[in-house]
Structure 1
Amino acid sequence: MPHFARVGEFPRKRHTVFRQPDGSLYWEELIGEDGFVGDTSLVYHRNPPTALTAIEPIPVAGEELVPNHPITPLHLQPRLLSLKGDAVLDRSTLVGNDDVRIAYAVATETSTLYKNSVGDELAYVESGHGTLESTFGRLDVSEGDHVIVPTSTIHRWVVPDGVELRLLIVQATGHIDPPSRYLSARGQFLEGTPYCELDIRRPEELVFDEGTDVPVVVRTRTGLTRHVHRHHPFDVVGWHGGMYPWAFSIFDFEPITGRLHQPPPTQQTFEARGFVMCAFVPRLLDYHPDAVPIPPSHSNVDSDEFLFYAKGAANTRRGSGVGIGSVTVHPAGFIHGPHPGTVERALGADRIDEYQVMLDTHRPLMISAAARSVLDGDYPFSWAAMEEKEIKTDA
């Protein structure tokens, strides 16, 4: 996140003497992106953050992916997965490639401490509420939030008793940022962008915790490792910089509309190495008198399209079995678009009520065993089936 922030206590100048009440020095931790020529933050600990007492491997199952072959459009129903527990250890990978993995979690308890050293994570809150606690402090989250957790940030998901916090989790292999075209040369959001600094929330209150021999799960490119820290990582007295967790609600996204159909880049929320993200929200539809106010059939020749139907109506998939909580994957090589009958029903409509989260990935998405277990096998043929139904109805 390119905006400087500061919380808690810190010295007047960076990398200068900063003493604790007992006269000992606080411990600096410099966290930096891109070899310290990108965003950085300086975090001040009461104890050395480097002190480990054990290092252990963690067996990982269910993250294996296989190619989508023969190339097939997919309709997944992740709500059918038997998921409850820890948002870190009990998440279920759905699809992914070398740039990104997308998982689903139903968090019903506070998670283990965790950091992803491969890249940033973005969690979209489908439903429920809770708190992201990290070395940067406390960030309350609720339905509709996109929560961005920077690479190697130690954090945990805190879930109140009796709450199910449903998360769609995007695990990048780089950094997830606002689109560069939204920002000035100095990093300020430009006029006319669909969200801006006023819509962004960040930690403003530190979290303090104590303890010894504290386990932290670390994700690397080769799997999961457990580091046991001599001191609790949440011993921070202050921090300053431009790298920290932040949240942006889909309910604060201001859609761009026009007389005729607007392409998906007008709905973009984030960009990352190997993929982009978009949000589709309630909006006025195209207002040319002859407008067809829904997307045409289309081939995104350079991307696979992952679409999560979060809330509202799934009008372009009406009658196909796709509904709220569904995921569709339309791979490059497959022409997709509205189902038969949808275009005629849409003519004259002036508004759409939907909340959808989309990723377009530059490399093909592969599929997990969990995804295959909640696969709608009829979906690839639903266009033909509904066309036949339309013909019979007209006859």
Structure 2
Amino acid sequence: MPYYSRVGDVPAKRHTQARQPDGSLLREELMGEEGFSSDSSLLYHVGVPSAIVDSQPWEVGDLATRPNHPLVPRHLKLHGLFENAEWKPLDPVTGRRLVLGNADVRISYVWAGQPSPCYRNAVGDECVYVEAGTAKVETVFGMLDVGPGDYVIIPRATTHRWVLEGHAPLQAYCIEANSHIGPPARYLSRFGQFLEHAPFCERDLRGPAEPLVCEGTDVEVLVKHRGAGPSGILGTRMVYATHPFDVVGWDGCLYPYTFNVADFEPITGRVHQPPPVHQVWAGTNFVVCTFCPRKVDYHPLAIPVPYYHSNVDSDEVMFYVGGDYGARKGSGIGLGSISLHPGGYAHGPQPAAIDASLGVQEVDELAVMVDTFRPLELGEAGIASDDGRYAWTWAGRGPLTP
């Protein structure tokens, strides 16, 4: 996070005695990035944060991927992955299905009807987009209320759990990094404050407001961590002597927070603006953008839909979550769809969409885009949800081979 926060009670000086009302010492934990050289927070625990009583393997699920070969653009229909009531016994962590992935980032999708176990991703930060449903995300830093349109940013190694509200499924699009995720550097001053040209600022971000203290013994925490093997990721089920949610106060610049797409202020121009104006987050070798409802290009000869473009250094993934994305009309893409446009392939609007866009003054669309700078491969859910026809929609015919 780019700015300092303080929640609950902390001592006047760091690394000094902090005591409970009964006089017993609190245990201070420094949670920090990049080996004491970047953002950190100090957390004050009632119990001992290192006290585990068991550790067993946990199978993290199918993380195998297959190359996008032969190279084609793809349409993945994610809603079909969770038909009927198959989502009801699933939770937002263990129910995730891998759609796309590479060495830098994994994109998963889930419909969930049950609360998750306590969970910690020690591989990288997570950026979870809530497509539908509401929940409380309980963390060692406190609680976050989340709902449709929220990005939930959870720093690496933050113990948390998802507690669902209501009877509808929680539909979540999960971006798991092997790095940290945060606002793009160009939005921030050298001291970390949002600059005037940024499309959102500190007022739009919501972090925990008060501590969350839970009691319990022998509490299981699922830990995803780095290791050997094809995916480089392993899982462990740790059992803690006391509940990990025992932090009575903390302060610092590292903590989970949320941002809602309704608070993103679109940047527009007389002619079509390139995708970087829609950027929200950045990780190592990938970016996340949000295409929101907005006024569009106002030059008298403007073409509001994107021009054809060949992003020679990146794969582009669009997840369509609201409104009507005009550039894809006629392709079969709708809400809950993903389009994958790989590097090495020039992509752009469906031909009929260009003429249909002329004279349009604003668009009602909502999409989450992930651009990766290494090629993406297909996970089991990506293979299962591929419509098999999207690549030929620009030409209106194909394939030529049986």
Query: The TM-score by the shorter chain falls in which range?
Result: over 0.9
> What secondary structure sits across from 2:244 in the alignment?
coil
Query: Percent identity of the aligned residues?
Result: 50
> 1:186 aligned to 191, 207, 214, which one?
191
1:22 CA displacement: 2.8
1:21 CA displacement: 2.5
1:108 CA displacement: 1.2
CA distance in 2, matches of 1:370, 1:303: 21
Cα deviations by residue, 1:362-392 (Å, 9 ceiling, x for unpaired): 00000012211111101110111189xxxxx
1:121 alignment counterpart: 126
CA distance in 1, matches of 2:131, 2:93: 16
> What secondary structure sits across from 1:36 in the alignment?
coil
> 1:247 aligned to 233, 237, 258, which one?
258
Single out whichever of 265-274 and 161-170 deviates more from structure 2: 161-170
Single out whichever of 185-194 and 19-28 deviates more from structure 2: 19-28
2:230 alignment counterpart: none
Cα deviations by residue, 1:65-88 (Å, 9 ceiling, x for unpaired): 111111111100111113522111
Contact 1:340 1:386 in 2 (8 A): no
> What secondary structure sits across from 1:380 in the alignment?
helix
> What secondary structure sits across from 1:328 in the alignment?
strand
> 2:217 aligned to 201, 212, 215, which one?
212
Scaled by the length of structure 1, what TM-score is found?
Answer: 0.96
Cα deviations by residue, 1:28-73 (Å, 9 ceiling, x for unpaired): 1110001111100000010101000100001233211111111111
CA distance in 2, matches of 1:177, 1:356: 19
Q: Does 1:159 align with 2:199?
A: no
Q: Does 1:262 align with 2:273?
A: yes
Q: Does 1:315 align with 2:326?
A: yes
> What secondary structure sits across from 2:394 in the alignment?
helix
Single out whichever of 147-156 and 370-379 deviates more from structure 2: 370-379
Cα deviations by residue, 1:305-340 (Å, 9 ceiling, x for unpaired): 010001000211111110011001100011110011
1:343 CA displacement: 0.4
CA distance in 1, matches of 2:288, 2:380: 24
Contact 1:110 1:158 in 2 (8 A): yes
1:223 CA displacement: 1.5
1:81 alignment counterpart: 81
1:40 alignment counterpart: 40
Contact 2:97 2:380 in 1 (8 A): no
CA distance in 2, matches of 1:315, 1:181: 29
> What secondary structure sits across from 2:92 in the alignment?
coil
> What secondary structure sits across from 1:342 in the alignment?
helix
* C-alpha spacing 1:206/1:163, structure 2 compared with 1 (3 Å): farther
The code of the aligned residue for 1:7 comes to V
* Alignment root-mean-square deviation, CA: 1.2
Contact 1:299 1:334 in 2 (8 A): yes
The code of the aligned residue for 2:261 comes to I
Contact 1:109 1:161 in 2 (8 A): no
Scaled by the length of structure 2, what TM-score is found?
Answer: 0.95
The code of the aligned residue for 2:65 comes to L
CA distance in 2, matches of 1:72, 1:223: 31
Q: Number of aligned pairs?
A: 387
1:29 alignment counterpart: 29
Matches within 5 A, 1:193-208: 193-208=198-213
> 2:290 aligned to 279, 283, 286, which one?
279
Gapped regions of structure 1 (runs ≥ 5): 388-395
2:360 alignment counterpart: 349
> What secondary structure sits across from 2:165 in the alignment?
coil
Runs of 4+ in 1 over 6 A off after TM superposition: none
Single out whichever of 60-69 and 150-159 deviates more from structure 2: 60-69
CA distance in 1, matches of 2:165, 2:281: 29
Single out whichever of 239-248 and 55-64 deviates more from structure 2: 55-64
Q: Does 1:55 align with 2:55?
A: yes
The code of the aligned residue for 1:53 comes to V
Gapped regions of structure 2 (runs ≥ 5): 227-232
